[in-house]
Structure 1
Amino acid sequence: MTKSIIDIIGFEEATQLMASAIHDAVECRGKLGLPKAVNVDGVVYRQYPDGSLEQVEVINGSLARPFESPVTRP
């Protein structure tokens, strides 16, 4: 039977690696100017790096307009 990476490196180290990766991703998102989703009293907003909020319209549990990336890809 094949061991999982968590079995190999241990739960504590795996948790630390995941927390570090999340921190790096959040920091990168901010540098790119991408918004993050926040929930304020049950209402979903996009929060931009400058702190501004844009309410997200939710229809049948899905975003009416998905998050767009200002980064263009070739």
Structure 2
Amino acid sequence: MTDSVNDGRSTATGRSLGVSRYDLVLAVIPAAFIFALLIGYLFSLPSRTALIAASVVGVGAMFDGLFRNPPENTGSA
């Protein structure tokens, strides 16, 4: 068994340790809800309005991650 060179960006198995686009998509969804509720609280917006705005952002992120830039099958398991 041979070890690959670890330059801080990959593990011995060759998997990347960096943040991928799909990690960011998953991070945007709860961040949108937290941000919308905070803005709604600060500006006295109804929570329904803030949640609708957050859900639009979350659906947009999901649409981008699933349809505009879908995951690619690299063939490795």
Question: Shared fold (TM-score greater than 0.5)?
Answer: no
Higher relative contact order structure (alpha carbons within 8 Å, sequence separation ≥ 6): 2
**Higher helix proportion, which one?**
2
